[in-house]
Amino acid sequence: MLWNWSTVGSCFIARSWRITSRGMFAGSCLGVIFLVISLEFLRRLSKEYDRFLIRQHYLHLVSQSTVLDTNLRSCQDGKSVTVPSCEPARISNAKFRPTALQQAIRALLHMLQFAVAYFVMLLAMYYNGYLIICILIGAYIGAFIFSWEVMLG
């Protein structure tokens, strides 16, 4: 494997992916860009799913604590207040373990990320300059779209 700038006549991954025209090569380049964008999407989806599970667990704890004890109770400072305002410290330290189904979904998202990343790595191993540039463009666009989040300051 040597660094190359081959276009027509190149072959990637399988015999069926043989480039026979410039249009086919351009389509392959666009496909590689979208493949890497999909990898960034899967990474974000995985992160958002974890956040969803934690948020769901937190809401369950809050609702459980308000249902179990709606009477006034005294907090550490001795003031008498309702349960939800006394609970945040206990709830925020609560440990969470996903259910088997939730973990199966998390594992599926991880497997999809791994498969796409491995496929991208195989494409990079052809050392085709155009494909590597497309991988970098896809990473840039994907990160721009899917890692644009609110940052805590």
Per-residue confidence (pLDDT) for residue 79, from 0 to 100: 54
Higher pLDDT, 88 or 140: 140
Task: Work out the average pLDDT over 44-73.
Answer: 81
What does the pLDDT look like over 61-118, one tens digit per residue? 888 776 555 544 544 455 544 445 545 555 556 788 999 999 999 999 999 999 999 9
In this model, does residue 29 exceed pLDDT 90? Answer: yes
Dihedral Cα 106, 108, 113, 117, nearest 10 deg: 140
pTM of the model: 0.79
Burial of 28 (0-12, 13-18, 19+ CB in 10 A): buried
Q: In the chain, what are the domain boundaries? A: 26-63+99-146
Task: Work out the average pLDDT over 17-32.
Answer: 95
Per-residue confidence (pLDDT) for residue 15, from 0 to 100: 87
> Residue 142: pLDDT band by 50, 70, 90 thresholds?
very high
Higher pLDDT, 98 or 150: 98
Higher pLDDT, 59 or 153: 59
| 39 contacts 64 by C-beta, under 8 angstroms | no
If we measure between CA atoms, which residue out of 1, 87, 91 comes closest to residue 55?
91
Query: How far lies 143's CA from each of 39, 47, 146, 149, in Å?
Result: 10, 14, 5, 11
Please give the share of the chain, as a percent, with pLDDT higher than 90: 61
